[in-house]
A = this chain, B = another copy of it.
């Protein structure tokens, strides 16, 4: 770990994302949170949307210094968001951070999209190390998305997050409507799925290839879900845990005949 540029009595915040170091959402987030502590940005050099919790095992990683000043340092990493967090923890940060903040993602990570998300992969990785984190996502996939309506809401959530903390091994999944925000709701994760319709094309060598295209389907009729909140122009805030055990089903499987 480097012995530089982290100030005593200041929060140490690791900032990352999955859209890559140059994305507008990351830049907006950095400016918004500089006042809250010493900021270390360690983000993928390239876009990593849909990379989930993937890690780079069969290739080595690299990182480059972009900026090193008192209170603000910035690096880009050749790997995924989770690679960036792991490399930051072991090789870049002066100590384990107090918080990890990821985003702002260009696009939704509500419902089961959380499981595909590199933005959330980064904060789930932090939660595994018991470091509280928040992932922010805006429901606008455009590279030029307008984030200017988000600031007061993100600051409100972060201030409560810094003040109250989270239960151990937990992180927050925050999704923000593209416009006309009515307020902030605390929600559960909606049930949903993707229905794919791959688009077939023919390459110049007369071989078929397929572009993944699909549509998210909300399967949840509840009014307490993130999808419901978002469809009513509320920001959704869902606490996420790492234990994916289905405890109800566990009781059923205990009745199976598994004796050999």
Contact = CB atoms under 8 A, between A and B. Distances in A.
A240 interface: yes
A56 B52 contact: no
Contacts of A198: 61, 86-87, 90-91
Interface residues of A, number: 87
A93 to B, nearest CB: 12
Number of identical protomers: 2
Given A53-B52, A116-B53, A243 B188 contact: yes
B249 A62 contact: no
Given A160-B258, A249-B239, A258-B156, A196 B86 contact: yes
A176 to B, nearest CB: 13
Interface stretch (A7-15, A32-40, A165-173): A165-173
A114 B112 CA distance: 16
Contact of A52 (B54, B188, B194, B210): B54
A71 B37 CA distance: 61
A86 B197 CA distance: 9
A87 B235 CA distance: 33
Nearest to A173: B244
A160 B252 CA distance: 12
Interface stretch (A22-30, A97-105, A201-209): A201-209
Interface of A: 47, 49-58, 60-63, 82-83, 86-87, 89-91, 112, 114-116, 118, 121, 124, 128-130, 152-153, 156-157, 160, 164, 166-167, 169-170, 172, 183-184, 186-189, 191-194, 196-198, 200-201, 207-212, 214, 237-250, 252-254, 256-260
12 contacts: A52-B53, A82-B116, A91-B210, A160-B256, A160-B257, A164-B256, A167-B246, A184-B259, A186-B253, A186-B258, A241-B246, A241-B249
